[in-house]
Amino acid sequence: MNKVKMIFSQTLMVSTAILFGLGIQQLILYLSGIGDGKITWQWYIPLSIVLTGFLSSLPSLLLTCEFGGSKVKTVIVILLHFLMVFGIVSGSGYLFGWYVNSGEFLLIAVMYVIIYSFVWAATVWLMRSDDNKINKALDEIRDPE
């Protein structure tokens, strides 16, 4: 049940991130003077975002595996996760026509790296913040060594 919940919340998060990315892409195109400032989406685009969000959340199951505290394994799994999600996002982008040339693909790739790094940075910050709170609470009740 926990894993279903995790997939669901990840789907929502990734869908929002993709929507944000596409929004930024349109903003950049608009500011660059490319196009007429109007956006027209095919009927399947909103659904494709949710579908991509769902598919991108599946590699997160990798992160729930036990690594036995090994830093090397953790880094490898994160790298694998990064590549898998990137494969899904760029594959979906190609399939659903989010980009039509290599320039737009590059833009999506750069945005993906920025969003992925930002999400990890925020996650680590939240984790450390939680750790500090818990360790402070433990300090108050810990038995003497």
Partner 1 sequence: MKVILEKVSSDSDEGARIRAKEITDEIRAAADLLEGHGKKIPVTLKGEEMPTETLMISTDSIYYFESVDKRTYAYTRDECYETKYRLYELEDILGSNYFRCSKALIVNIRKIKTVRSEVGGRMMTELLNGEHIVISRSYVRDLKRKLGV
| The one-letter amino acid at 69 | G
Given 31, 65, 72, 100, the residue binding partner 1 (CB under 8 A): 65
98: exposed, middle or buried (Cβ count in 10 Å: 0-12, 13-18, 19+): buried
Tokens for 69, please give them: 């505290």
Identity of the residue, 64 or 102, whose beta carbon is nearer to partner 1 in the bound complex:
64
- 25-53 CB burial, b ≥16 within 10 A, e <16: beeeeeeeeeeeeeeeeeeeeeebbebbb
Given 20, 67, 94, 118, the residue binding partner 1 (CB under 8 A): 67
| Binding residues for partner 1, total number by CB under 8 A | 23
- Is residue 12 a contact point for partner 1 (CB under 8 A)? no
- Is residue 118 a contact point for partner 1 (CB under 8 A)? no
Given 50, 63, 84, 109, the residue binding partner 1 (CB under 8 A): 63
Sites of contact with partner 1 (CB under 8 A)? 2, 63-67, 69, 74, 77-78, 127-128, 130-131, 133-135, 137-138, 141-143, 145
